[in-house]
Amino acid sequence: MQEKNSLKTQVRYIKGVGPKKSEYLARAGINTIEDILYYLPKRYEDRSSVTAIKDLKPGEARTIQGEIVSLSSRTGRSGASIFQAVVADLTGSIHAVWFNQPYLRDMLKAGDKVILYGKVEIYDRLQMVQPEYEIMEGLETDSVNIGRIVPVYSLSQTLTQRFLRSLTFKAMTECVRFAVERLPTYIIARQKLVDIKFALRNIHFPTNFEMLEKAYKRIVFEEFFILQLALAIRKKGRAPEEAAFGHSMTAGELSGSFKKALPFELTDGQKKAISEIERDMSGAKPMNRLLEGDVGSGKTVVAAHALVLAVQNGFQSVIMAPTEVLARQHFIGLSELLMPLGINVVLLIGGMDTKTRDRVYSEIKDGRADIVVGTHAVIQVSVEFKNLGLVVIDEQHKFGVAQRALLRRKGLNPHVLIMTATPIPRTLALTVYGDLDISTIKELPKGRKPITTYWVEEEKRLRMYDFIKEELIEGRQAYVVCPLIETKAAGCAGAVATFEKLKDEVFAGYEVGLLHGKMSTKEKDKVMKDFKKGKIKVLVSTVVIEVGIDIPNASVMMIENADRFGLSQLHQLRGRIGRGGHESYCILLADPKTDNGAERLKAIEGTLDGFEIAETDMDLRGPGEMFGTRQHGLPEIRFGNLAKDFGIMELARIEAFALIEKDPKLLEEHHQLLKKSLYERFRGRLELVRVG
């Protein structure tokens, strides 16, 4: 490492790293010495305690220490070279066996004192296959691979743990002292964090597990802290525009009549959400709230109440849904509820004829339309509002950041309420929605019977059909969900073919309907109406019914090839039933090919709690994949674990928000390095972080 003080030194200048290796390293994102230091282990092996050879038991991975008594090499039957050493300590001896590592002949000599780490086996005799080894030279054993808690990195196959470990060790011993402390001292002190040099040393080569934990906490804290700073800045950043904001709304007669007109008693969660929204909307700043609640928790009425509040105060409001089917359903529901109160609700979706569309456009423009319900159609340039005061986005995870921003711009700093039925783990909520206020509806309305879920294999299919028939005889309705529209491969049911089969054979005598995304708006509309009315008894569909559809009389759902769906998706689908007072059943039909597939089905079978499912989903898939943090304009989380590090995230958030409150533009001297890493990390994305 030639240049002094340079964490930015390219790895290829390090002795022992040739052009080949530096290319492999680059592929893992390692270009500089700093990158090496921040390439964190994915796990650790405790090789710190040495076991006496007589105490070794097969099946365990252990560290031993001894002397090489003899060496031999030969060529095996398959042509592989086999190199063996007998290693003895005072209590016994063991054979160490290496395949295809002929160079070991030059490394190891009889009489060498060695440390070995590996899995113990019995194969005629006690042996370790392919153990990691370290030669103890003299007394000094600054061993990198054995005799300590050892880091294990995730690797591309061309780099070995051994190589990376010694590279990291070298980088650490020679360069950690140049690492720059970015966190201000007062935060380090208040949060009892270790300093960055200590953290980097111990994250790779911890002296013990306690130190490792401290190191981990420190590094993750810094990562989360920078993220929360960005979120805090964004939230603060809206303030100047808000000065001109004048949509302070009060609750009054209309919202009172609305509540009275509801055919049910609101749940506590709904009441709480409503009052939080009222408080926001009567304030001096635009609301920016996320309403989170499991499928079926009744978010729509909460949104409806907000819409009414806007109308009562002389503003227009809009609710945008991700599918036409859902938009229509909202339109019907809201019209029934609100038209009697004298509120004009209009529908705006893509497939309307020009005449109707133009009429709707002009109603929106001149203010006759109080509430607009629609799909993406509402964010078209040609849609002009007279005075939009509230924007509601349903099933927001189905929309991109840009689409949400477009809708927001249709008004002058309107209040924004976004809703999601994909419960998200708490840590992630503080990240992805870090600049929003959050209302959560925890409970389902009273009187709901829990849904029973069965995962069954293909061979039980006929029995399941009989089961569905029994429900139909009771007067209930059923969904059959398929992963695709057309059958593409054997053993994977397409909706069209399933529909034909069920209609002609299985449920002959019952009205069977078909619904999928390639049908025209008109057709879809008719099918949904007929299903809602109870004319259609069995609805065969694709995931178009995944979000929002509300048919309380449907009590069974059979999901074909259930292993092809994501966990959260299955949970969403299942949320379509169990909405009335009937016992409901979800049948997952699948013969999964992988353990992961089976695990996911078991998870769905085992719980109805959307939050629990979200956590499992995140464990199985990883948070990035699950929510596309990138899609939210956030950088990838590299060090922390969103599923587990909630505590650290919370602390980082508190500190970051307090800091921005005090020094909003990061002008203070001891915040300069933070500012720099903030810009490095977000590079022009700060604006995009804006959700909604």
- By a kind-dependent CB cut-off of 5 to 8 A, residue 293 interacts, out of Mg ion, ligand ADP, none, with ligand ADP
The CA distance from 468 to 555, in Å, is 9
Cβ neighbours of residue 618 closer than 8 Å, sequence gap 6 or more: 425, 428, 626, 642, 643
**Least distance in Å: CB of 281 to ligand ADP?**
19
Stretch that binds Mg ion, among 76-84, 276-284, 303-311, 544-552 (CB under 5 A): 544-552
- Number of chain positions touching Mg ion (CB under 5 A): 1
Stretch that binds Mg ion, among 98-106, 200-208, 312-320, 541-549 (CB under 5 A): 541-549
- By a kind-dependent CB cut-off of 5 to 8 A, residue 579 interacts, out of Mg ion, ligand ADP, none, with ligand ADP
Closest to Mg ion by CB, 66 or 548: 548
**Burial (CB count within 10 angstroms: exposed 0-12, middle 13-18, buried 19+), residue 119:** middle
The CA distance from 630 to 624, in Å, is 8
Closest to ligand ADP by CB, 118 or 580: 580
Does the protein bind ligand ADP through residue 298 (CB under 6 A)?
A: yes
Closest to ligand ADP by CB, 170 or 299: 299
| Binding residue (CB under 6 A) for ligand ADP from 297, 375, 541, 629 | 297
In angstroms, what CA-CA distances link 465 with 423, 469, 478, 589? 32, 6, 11, 11
| C-alpha 249: how far from chain center | 35
Encoded tokens for 373: 């319900």
**Least distance in Å: CB of 351 to ligand ADP?**
23
Site for ligand ADP in 552-571 (CB under 6 A): 552
Stretch that binds ligand ADP, among 26-34, 264-272, 344-352, 461-469 (CB under 6 A): 264-272
The CA distance from 118 to 113, in Å, is 17
Alpha helices by DSSP H, 339-390: 354-366
Closest to Mg ion by CB, 132 or 324: 324
**Least distance in Å: CB of 311 to ligand ADP?**
19
Does the protein bind ligand ADP through residue 469 (CB under 6 A)?
A: no
- By a kind-dependent CB cut-off of 5 to 8 A, residue 569 interacts, out of ligand ADP, Mg ion, none, with none
**Least distance in Å: CB of 286 to ligand ADP?**
23
Does the protein bind ligand ADP through residue 622 (CB under 6 A)?
A: no
SS3 assignment, position 371: strand
Tokens 């809201």 locate to 334
Stretch that binds ligand ADP, among 208-216, 265-273, 336-344, 354-362 (CB under 6 A): 265-273
Please identify the residue of the shown chain whose CB is closest to the bound ligand ADP: 298
| Binding residue (CB under 6 A) for ligand ADP from 293, 322, 414, 623 | 293
Closest to ligand ADP by CB, 79 or 263: 263
Closest to Mg ion by CB, 434 or 548: 548
| Binding residue (CB under 6 A) for ligand ADP from 267, 413, 431, 453 | 267
Closest to ligand ADP by CB, 265 or 505: 265
Half-sphere exposure of 442 (CA within 13 A, CB side): 2
Would strands 388-393 and 451-456 be described as parallel, antiparallel, or unpaired? unpaired
Closest to Mg ion by CB, 494 or 548: 548
| Binding residue (CB under 5 A) for Mg ion from 548, 580, 610, 640 | 548
Does the protein bind ligand ADP through residue 268 (CB under 6 A)?
A: no
Cβ neighbours of residue 28 closer than 8 Å, sequence gap 6 or more: 39, 155, 156, 159
The CA distance from 560 to 470, in Å, is 19
The CA distance from 500 to 159, in Å, is 55
SS3 assignment, position 440: strand
| Binding residue (CB under 6 A) for ligand ADP from 30, 37, 211, 301 | 301
Backbone angles phi, psi at 548, to 5 degrees: 75, -20
Closest to ligand ADP by CB, 483 or 578: 578
Stretch that binds ligand ADP, among 298-306, 320-328, 508-516, 557-565 (CB under 6 A): 298-306
Closest to Mg ion by CB, 201 or 305: 305
- The three state secondary structure string of 212-268 is HHHHHHHHHHHHHHHHHHHHHHHHHHCHHHHCCCCCCCCCCHHHHHHHHHCCCCCCH
- Number of chain positions touching ligand ADP (CB under 6 A): 19
Site for ligand ADP in 519-558 (CB under 6 A): 548, 550, 552
Tokens 């930015």 locate to 8
| Binding residue (CB under 6 A) for ligand ADP from 299, 376, 398, 426 | 299
Closest to Mg ion by CB, 548 or 592: 548
**Least distance in Å: CB of 692 to Mg ion?**
17
In angstroms, what CA-CA distances link 434 with 278, 442, 495, 692? 21, 20, 40, 12
218-257 mask for ligand ADP (x: CB under 6 A)? Answer: ----------------------------------------
From the list 679, 677, 674, the residue with the least C-alpha distance to 655 is 674
Stretch that binds ligand ADP, among 172-180, 258-266, 429-437, 469-477 (CB under 6 A): 258-266
DSSP code of 665?
Answer: T
SS3 assignment, position 557: strand
User: Cβ–Cβ contacts within 10 Å for residue 248, how many?
Assistant: 12
Stretch that binds ligand ADP, among 39-47, 288-296, 483-491, 554-562 (CB under 6 A): 288-296
Cβ neighbours of residue 117 closer than 8 Å, sequence gap 6 or more: 45, 47, 61, 62, 63, 64, 131, 132, 133, 145, 146, 150
Encoded tokens for 192: 């009892």
The CA distance from 535 to 681, in Å, is 56
- By a kind-dependent CB cut-off of 5 to 8 A, residue 680 interacts, out of ligand ADP, Mg ion, none, with none
Closest to ligand ADP by CB, 270 or 288: 270
Stretch that binds Mg ion, among 133-141, 220-228, 354-362, 546-554 (CB under 5 A): 546-554
Closest to ligand ADP by CB, 175 or 391: 391
| Element (DSSP H or E) covering residue 319 | strand 316-320
Does the protein bind ligand ADP through residue 300 (CB under 6 A)?
A: yes
Partners of 327 in the beta sheet?
A: none
| Binding residue (CB under 6 A) for ligand ADP from 579, 582, 632, 671 | 579
**Least distance in Å: CB of 264 to ligand ADP?**
4
**Least distance in Å: CB of 267 to ligand ADP?**
5
The CA distance from 626 to 646, in Å, is 17
**Least distance in Å: CB of 394 to ligand ADP?**
7
From the list 409, 414, 412, 405, the residue with the least C-alpha distance to 688 is 405
Alpha helices by DSSP H, 442-513: 461-473, 495-501
Site for ligand ADP in 427-446 (CB under 6 A): 445
**Burial (CB count within 10 angstroms: exposed 0-12, middle 13-18, buried 19+), residue 353:** exposed
The CA distance from 661 to 61, in Å, is 52
Give me the residues that bind Mg ion (CB under 5 A), please: 548
Residues that bind ligand ADP (CB under 6 A): 264-267, 270, 293, 295-301, 421, 445, 548, 550, 552, 579
